[in-house]
Amino acid sequence: MMAEMGLVAARERATLPGTMRQRMHHMRYSGFRVIAEALRGHKGWTPAWRDPVPQAAYDYVIVGGGGHGLATAHYLAKEFGQARIAVLEKGYLGGGNVGRNTTIIRSNYLLDGNQPFYEFSLKLWEGLEQDFNYNAMVSQRGIINLIHTDGQRDAYTRRGNAMMMHGADAELLNRDQVRAMYPFLNFDNARFPIKGALMQRRGGTVRHDAVAWGYARGADSRGVDLIQNCEVTGMRIENGRILGVETSRGFIGAKKVGVAVAGSSSRVMAHAGMRLPIESHVLQAFVSEGLKPVIDGVMTFGAGHFYVSQSDKGGLVFGGDIDGYNSYAQRGNLPVIEDVAEGGMALMPMIGRARLLRAWGGIMDMSMDGSPIIDKTHIDGLYFNGGWCYGGFKATPASGWCFAHLLARDVPHPTATAYRFDRFLKGRMIDEKGQGAQPNLH
């Protein structure tokens, strides 16, 4: 029914004069609008973005219509006043990791190169829905990282202090405080007793698809061409400068090209002859049948890799480790499912009664130190954004903003100065876990 209405609207639109078409796309969403449309049988809604035919050339071509690419285009137009921008997406907008993640946002990092960036991102989340006039269901429901040993308490105390020194919020909870929030947890597990938690109240969850849609609509309304079913298959580079990209819909010229393709980073940058400090790995996630409200925040188990929250529809959304071997398959294997289930059982045994509804996977751009890259390349006009590992959803607003900053001004944003390609050569790794050049351990 909705799809049908969309089709009719698209057909009508095709016959409208240009100015009229423009106006339809500046429709503002509001509570009043929802009520007005309800009274009119929802006949006034128009598609949230156009479906334009690619032009011969743009000032900026962003490769990848995931969260980061769409946010980059939105901020390029809105905050940096740029025009003639296109986003090229090989499939449909938001069909990649932005629509596959477990929707957690937080800024609870330890290291200098990371924490200011993620705190900037969290601040952007806090104002995002007003910024792009879209309900992304930003829910600051609080995240706790559970503590099971004295050593872990020391480490989390240090982390909390580092967070506060960078202006973020952090609280150390004792066992009773955690018990008051989640009485059903397995506090007296002989091997992994719960001794407390590090809490960030401003952390939480966001409706992931709505983030892609909101940024898409924001960018489109400012004239950005969002071009779907358009795979980049090559790059035209002459005398060390990029001239544009070859695509499944023909050559598209560009003064500047910004690549933000997450798990496909190595494949796309290979078109420029580059070999990246990245491996692609699969990460799985799971959702249970809908249950009555039981977990109102986000929680991570500190003695195995398991984390969980509950969606507004009631499903327990949870996950754990990456599968651990190079993969582009977008599906994982059973051993990790078993491992995640064991983590869940150790933490909250009653989860064993819930039925699993769905499991899926996404391809992660795992970097050599577990931290991302937002940088120019050695090719003039070619810029790269990737290496987000399993934590790039929370980064979406800041990643888009900082990449737009770099593309428009050719200098890194102050919170992203450490995200350089050459940090491995210079020994300036940002390795939160201290694992070394072993992507499957980050």
Partner 1 sequence: MIINHPILGPRDAQEFVYLGDASLMNRPDTMTAGIEAFHDWLYTRDNPAGLHRELWYHEQGDRSWLVVTRNTLTHEITQVELARDVALALRRSK
Q: Using an 8 Å Cβ cutoff, are 190 and 22 in contact?
A: no
Question: Taking CB under 8 A as the rule, which mask of x and - marks residues 309-328 in contact with partner 1?
Answer: ---------------xxxxx
Q: How far is the CB of 268 from partner 1 (least distance, A)?
A: 11
Residue pointed to by tokens 């593309």 = 407
Identify which of residues 237 and 278 has a Cβ nearer to partner 1 in the complex: 278
Nearer to ligand FAD, 195 or 400 (CB): 400
Q: How far apart are CA 422 and CA 429, in angstroms?
A: 9
Q: Which is nearer to ligand FAD, 263 or 297 (CB)?
A: 263
* Single-letter code of the amino acid located at 345: M
Tell me the closest approach of the beta carbon of residue 23 to ligand FAD, in angstroms: 29
Q: Contact between 195 and ligand FAD (CB under 6 A)? A: no
Per CB under 6 A, the list member of 48, 49, 68, 166 interacting with ligand FAD is 68
Q: Is 113 in the site for ligand FAD (CB under 6 A)?
A: no
Residues 219-238 that bind ligand FAD (CB under 6 A): 231-232
Distance CA 54, CA 251 (A): 10
| Pick 2 or 425: Cβ nearer partner 1 | 425
Per-residue DSSP letter, 379: S
Closest separation in Å from C-beta 266 to ligand FAD: 10
Kindly identify the residues of this chain, within the stretch 83-102, that bind ligand FAD according to CB under 6 A: 88-91, 95-98, 100-102
Strand order in 196-200's β-sheet?
A: 171-174, 196-200, 143-147, 298-301, 306-310, 315-326, 278-290, 356-367
Q: Residue 268, interface with ligand FAD (CB under 6 A)? A: yes
Q: How many residues in the chain? A: 442
The mark string for 418-437 relative to partner 1 (x by CB under 8 A, - otherwise) is ------xx-----------x
Residue 206 touching ligand FAD (CB under 6 A):
no
Structural element, H or E, at residue 38: helix 31-39
Distance (Å, whole) CA 331 – CA 265: 18
Q: Give the torsion sign (CA, 12, 65, 225, 63).
A: negative
Question: Amino acid identity of 168?
Answer: A
The partner residues of 410 in beta bridges, in order of sequence, read none
Q: Cβ(43)–Cβ(369) under 8 Å?
A: no
Residues that bind partner 1 (CB under 8 A): 266-267, 275-280, 324-329, 333, 335, 368, 424-425, 437-440
Residues that bind ligand FAD (CB under 6 A): 63-69, 88-91, 95-98, 100-104, 231-232, 260-264, 268, 283-285, 319, 362, 388, 390-394
